[in-house]
Each structure stands twice: as C-alpha cells, then as structure tokens.
Amino acid sequence: MIEWRLRVVMAERDVGVGELAEKIGINRVNASRLKTAKTMPRLTEQTLDALCKALDCQPGDLLRYAPSTKEELEQT
C-alpha cells in the first residue's frame, strides 16, 4: 500500500491547513481532505507540483511504501 504522508510533512514544516490552501490555491476543505487522506489521493500534476513547491519537498517525501497485510489483500 502507498501511504500518503502529507500530514507528516506539514507537521515537520509547521504548515497548517489554511496556509497550505492559500499557498497551493485551493479551498480549506479540499486542503483538509488532502491532509487527512490515508492513501494517496488522485492528484493532478499541477497540484502535486504546487504541494512540493509550498512544502519545499520532493514527491517522494509525500509517499511511503508499506507492504499490504494479509487482511488488506483479502479486502480487495
């Protein structure tokens, strides 16, 4: 499973939802949804680019591979 680490990266850089929303040009609700997603959300290239610029990070900083558990595989 690919884990979405936006929450972690935001915390490391002390960036709140409102600040992120303003920096990447989306509303607070959508920024909050991006932050709270556990798996990688569907993103446009422009949104991913804006996130990396706003947080001064690489795309790989926002993702982490975690092997799926047997239970997770059975749910698919």
- pLDDT digits 0-9 by tens, 8-39: 999 999 999 999 999 999 999 999 999 999 98
Work out the burial of residue 24: count CB atoms within 10 Å of its CB; fewer than 13 is exposed, 13-18 middle, 19 or more buried: buried
> Is the predicted pLDDT of residue 73 greater than 70, yes or no?
no
> pLDDT digits over 55-72, tens only?
999 999 999 998 887 776
Q: What confidence score (pLDDT) does residue 24 get?
A: 98
Q: What is the fold, at CATH topology level, of the domain defined by 2-75?
A: 434 Repressor (Amino-terminal Domain) (1.10.260)
Give the Cβ contact number of residue 34 at 10 Å.
22
